[in-house]
Amino acid sequence: MLLSELFIPEQVNNKILLCVLESIKYGGIDVLINNLFAPVHEDLHLSNTDNETSSIMLDSLRYRILRDVMGGYSIKTSITRYYKGLVMADSLLKSETSTFIIENCKHYIDRISKKLAEKLPPPNTKGETYSLRQCYYKLLQNCIKTDSVSGWLLYASYYYVTRQYDATLKLTDYILSKWSPDMILIGSEHNTNEGSYRHNVHSTMTLNENMTLFTKDDIQFVPNSSLIPEELQLEVKDHIIQIQPVFMAHCLRLLCYHHLGDIPNRRHALRDLYLTVNVGPFTSEGSLSSSLTIFGVCYEISEYKDKAYQCYIKSLQYIKCKCSTAEIRKSKLFDI
């Protein structure tokens, strides 16, 4: 949309918009933000309180729009376009002086790194080169900065795909210790945890520090992701899949114990999955539907076909956003 289209004749808001544009023109984004969230100086206590409130308001705005930043990337986006996005963001970082823009560019790079890591050749490919491992390492190091848990889960999936099961278990332990229901959910318009967030953060912390400590996000696997466990590749054959982080952590643990032949701990992980599905919280019906399908896969692996069938049936009940593979898995469940 052109800026001229924002002006509506005989509207008083036009003067406000002109002031905003003038502040950007002559002072940049930082001056605009300072004007929008200016502290009150009459009382020191009020000044500090208002400053913290303004900082939290700004963070909340950022978290609501962060998912929209990636909205221009569809499931068919090529790896070349992702790299172009990285180059553009990196170029802006080198030329920009605004703290606000710099922090958001860094986060943009971190989020693109998630998508890129899943577009690389599978890490367990025969003849895997040192350069491929280094590329994974660099991208995954960026991924862990997007929020407190989802990037680490992608890292754990990398270890699982490369058959490093003990390392996967250690990392999922770490992820579960970091996750808290009180964290701010990225992209949500209705966060109920702002009181807890306000208690933990302060205005001197950077955006990236706040995000890695006090925010959470579902883990998303892109179509044909190179980092999703082999047992779940059907789920990303043609679709993005979104999974609640605690559920995914317990899923990885169950798969690891299965490969290690540790039946008691596999059973314990299955119980943890059951509790997570029934307690949640899930960010959307789509996330719950996908998780129910994956829960069915875990039941199949554990040789509980009847319970797997029930999971697939429940997943299919979410008509508007049902997991597309639940029907396929249900139909194949009792094939001999």
Is residue 334 classed as helix, strand or coil in its secondary structure? coil
Residue 247 has pLDDT above 70, yes or no: yes
Phi, psi of 243, rounded to the nearest 5 degrees:
-130, 135
Report whether pLDDT(329) > 80: yes
- The more confidently predicted of residues 271 and 194 is 271
**What pLDDT score was predicted for residue 328?**
92
Other Cβ atoms less than 10 A from the Cβ of 162: the count is 17
Average pLDDT of span 156-160: 97
Q: Which range has the worst mean pLDDT, 3-17, 198-212, 269-283?
A: 3-17
Tokens of residue 330, six digits? 């249900």
Question: Once rounded to an integer, what is the mean pLDDT over residues 290-315?
Answer: 95
pLDDT at 148 over 90: no
- Measured CA to CA, the distance from residue 69 to residue 241 in angstroms comes to 19
pLDDT at position 196 over 70: no
With H, G, I as helix, E, B as strand and everything else as coil, classify residue 172. helix
**H helical segments located in 179-225:** 194-200, 207-214
**pLDDT, mean over the chain:** 78
Instruction: Please give the pLDDT value at position 4.
Output: 46
Taking only the tens place, the pLDDT of each residue in 197-224 is 555 665 667 767 777 776 778 888 999 9
- The sign one gets for the Cα dihedral 187, 168, 323, 142 is positive
| 3-state secondary structure (DSSP) of residue 243 | strand
Distance from the Cα of residue 51 to its chain's centroid = 28
Residue 105 pLDDT grade (very low, low, confident, very high; cuts 50, 70, 90): confident
Q: Which amino acid would we find at residue 141? A: Q
Q: Across residues 254-258, what is the average pLDDT? A: 98
Residues 311 and 289: their CA atoms lie apart, in Å, by 9
pLDDT tens across 17-64, in order? 566 556 555 555 555 555 554 444 444 444 445 555 555 555 655 655
Q: Where are the domains of the chain?
A: 3-332
Distance CA 153, CA 116 (A): 15
